[in-house]
Amino acid sequence: MGGAHFAFTDRWGGVSAVPYEELNLGGAVGDDPAAVRANRERAARSLGLDPALVVWMNQVHGRDVAVVDGPWRAGAEVPAVDAVVTARRGLALAVLTADCTPVLLADPVAGVAGAAHAGRPGLVAGVVPAAVEAMVALGAEPGRIVARTGPAVCGRCYEVPAGMRDAVSEVVPSARAETSWGTPAVDVVAGVHAQLAQAGVAGGLRSAVCTLESRDHFSYRRDRVTGRLAGYVWLE
């Protein structure tokens, strides 16, 4: 039985120029593709991973899950999904974010890992429970799944119109929040952990970092044109 590994990047240590400085890992945000390739390579090596064995998604704020047993075939179109799961040890799953919640999951006993991208739409659509379900289909047990959520915009910063807060909290009551200045807000991280608990995945750890408040992290809401952070999960 091999261990589970979880990692979240910050914005430093890469080669991208302003406004993507420095470690932008997102390929669809306007940055120089050569810089993104170099950054992905650098990040993988720093984690002891083969860059060719990291699976990236084409994220679209939905709830579809891809089951993978290896890297995407060269030249093939990367599927539009917001979660990916695998039963292959040594294969790393990566999720890109800049305020959305990166969710990493692993059942080290079954050897099944999952990564999900949960923004407000993904929370409402249920991408995280869908990822857990896909892992269970591969032999994982919810009670054994270890969960981590990474740097994301916090509930005290994520202001939304009142109607939007109502719509979200109708589906996920735990996501109802208020900004530090007293207006309606959504707490996606709290919502994700409530969904995990409901799926039988308890005790997941959450990053204390709010991307919007941290100058060491990319934040779409703060900067609009900016880079993407990555979360990685893999099993030995």
Question: What does the binding site for Zn ion look like in residue numbers (CB under 5 A)?
Answer: 154, 157, 210, 212-213
Identity of the residue, 94 or 177, whose beta carbon is nearer to Zn ion in the bound complex: 177
CA angle centred on 132, ends 164 and 28, rounded to 5°: 60
Identity of the residue, 85 or 210, whose beta carbon is nearer to Zn ion in the bound complex: 210
Between CA 94 and CA 115 the distance in angstroms is: 7
Identity of the residue, 89 or 221, whose beta carbon is nearer to Zn ion in the bound complex: 221
Smallest gap from residue 215 Cβ to Zn ion (A): 12
Instruction: Give the DSSP H or E segment for 220.
Output: helix 220-223
Q: Using the 8-state DSSP alphabet, how is residue 70 labeled?
A: S
Give the max Cα distance, the chain: 49
Q: Do strands 229-235 and 92-97 pair parallel, antiparallel, or not at all (unpaired)?
A: antiparallel
Three-class DSSP category at 107? strand
Smallest gap from residue 156 Cβ to Zn ion (A): 5
Smallest gap from residue 209 Cβ to Zn ion (A): 9
Smallest gap from residue 83 Cβ to Zn ion (A): 25
CA angle centred on 231, ends 136 and 156, rounded to 5°: 100
Identity of the residue, 40 or 193, whose beta carbon is nearer to Zn ion in the bound complex: 193
